[in-house]
């Protein structure tokens, strides 16, 4: 019933913009690093995930990132990613704004993806500025604990937003523009706790749009959503596609 209601809401309230967080990728086997049992509970983000840590000791940071990058590139899109790509293809979704760095929306077929926390697609050399594709980074990692720049030897930094770094300004600006004009902002798999992304629902609501949430667990916006489904994105979203 809830999926049918959500389908009706998406049909009635165009344009619809989707905001996704870690919860959309957990069914692809990618853990939510911020969950109480997640990696950031085991690894201190300041020691392994901050830009200061990277500048101080890039080898130590790569000891954490190397298995993670391998895991992310081996993961496959799940039915939630596929359903969102299908909704876009059928004209029901204008864009997907994502906090995820795993490229799974793109690999599922989504065309308009705004990556507000960057992605593993590329890595940049802090020494000479050269940029490398993830395939090249993986090839470099096959023979080393950390990828050294083939041009100058400096340790490459993945183009994901580290703690202590600013979010990419163009992506954030685009995300706020999309949220502003959305008549429906559909939040999937995000607890809406990390700013500035957590401010996107406020932008939609202030502009007269509505908010729908599909998430396991509570969010600070639950009371202001017209529809809220506490369930699995991989089950709910394919049901929405089937209902449209």
The full DSSP string for 216-241 is SS--TTGGG-SEEE-S-HHHHHHHHH
Q: With binding defined as CB under 5 A, does residue 126 bind Zn ion?
A: no
Cβ nearer to Zn ion, comparing 6 with 155: 155
Nearest distance from C-beta of residue 146 to Zn ion, angstroms: 13
Q: In whole angstroms, what is the distance from residue 100 CA to residue 94 CA?
A: 18
Enumerate residues 86-125 that contact Zn ion by CB under 5 A.
Answer: 125
Half-sphere exposure of residue 173: CA atoms within 13 angstroms, side-chain side: 3
128 binds Zn ion (CB under 5 A): yes
Among 144, 152, 226, 242, the residue binding Zn ion under the rule CB under 5 A is 152
The least distance separating Zn ion from the CB of residue 58, rounded to whole angstroms, comes to: 12
Non-local (6+) Cβ contacts of 126 within 8 A are 55, 154, 155, 156, 157
Q: Which is nearer to Zn ion, 35 or 136 (CB)?
A: 136
Under the criterion CB under 5 A, does residue 192 sit at the interface with Zn ion? Answer: no
Measured on CA atoms in the order 217, 219, 223, 228, is the torsion positive or negative? negative
Alpha helices in the chain (DSSP H): 2-12, 39-42, 45-48, 51-56, 58-74, 79-89, 104-108, 134-141, 169-181, 200-206, 233-243
- Min separation Cβ 123 and Zn ion, Å: 10
Which residues does residue 19 pair with via DSSP β-bridges, in sequence order? 97, 187
Sole binder of Zn ion in the list 6, 95, 114, 149 (CB under 5 A) = 149
180 classed as catalytic: no
Q: Which is nearer to Zn ion, 55 or 89 (CB)?
A: 55
Is residue 131 within the footprint of Zn ion (CB under 5 A)? no
Q: Is residue 168 involved in binding Zn ion (CB under 5 A)? A: no
Residue 127 interacts with Zn ion (CB under 5 A): yes or no: yes
Which residues sit at the interface with Zn ion, rule CB under 5 A? 125, 127-128, 130, 149, 151-152, 154
């Amino acid at each position: 019933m809830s999926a049918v209601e959500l389908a009706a809401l998406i049909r009635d309230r165009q344009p619809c913009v989707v905001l996704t967080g870690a919860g959309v990728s957990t069914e692809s086997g990618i853990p939510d690093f911020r969950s109480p049992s997640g990696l950031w509970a085991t690894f201190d983000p300041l020691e392994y995930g901050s830009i200061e840590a990277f500048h101080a000791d890039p080898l130590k940071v790569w000891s954490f990132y190397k298995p993670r990058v391998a895991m992310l590139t081996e993961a496959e899109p799940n039915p939630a990613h596929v359903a969102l790509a299908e909704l876009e293809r059928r004209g029901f979704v204008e864009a997907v704004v994502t906090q995820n760095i795993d490229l799974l929306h793109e690999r599922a077929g989504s065309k308009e993806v705004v990556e507000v926390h960057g992605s593993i697609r590329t890595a940049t050399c802090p020494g000479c500025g050269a940029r490398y594709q993830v395939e090249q980074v993986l090839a470099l990692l096959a023979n080393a604990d950390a990828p050294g720049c083939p041009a100058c030897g400096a340790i490459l930094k993945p183009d994901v937003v580290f703690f202590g770094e600013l979010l990419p300004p163009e992506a954030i600006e685009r995300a706020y523009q999309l949220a502003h004009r959305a008549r429906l902002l559909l939040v999937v798999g995000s607890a809406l706790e990390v700013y500035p992304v957590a401010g996107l629902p406020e932008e939609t609501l202030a502009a007269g749009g509505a908010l729908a949430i599909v998430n396991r667990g509570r969010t600070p916006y639950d009371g202001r959503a017209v529809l809220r489904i506490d369930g699995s994105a991989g089950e709910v979203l394919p049901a929405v596609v089937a209902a449209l």
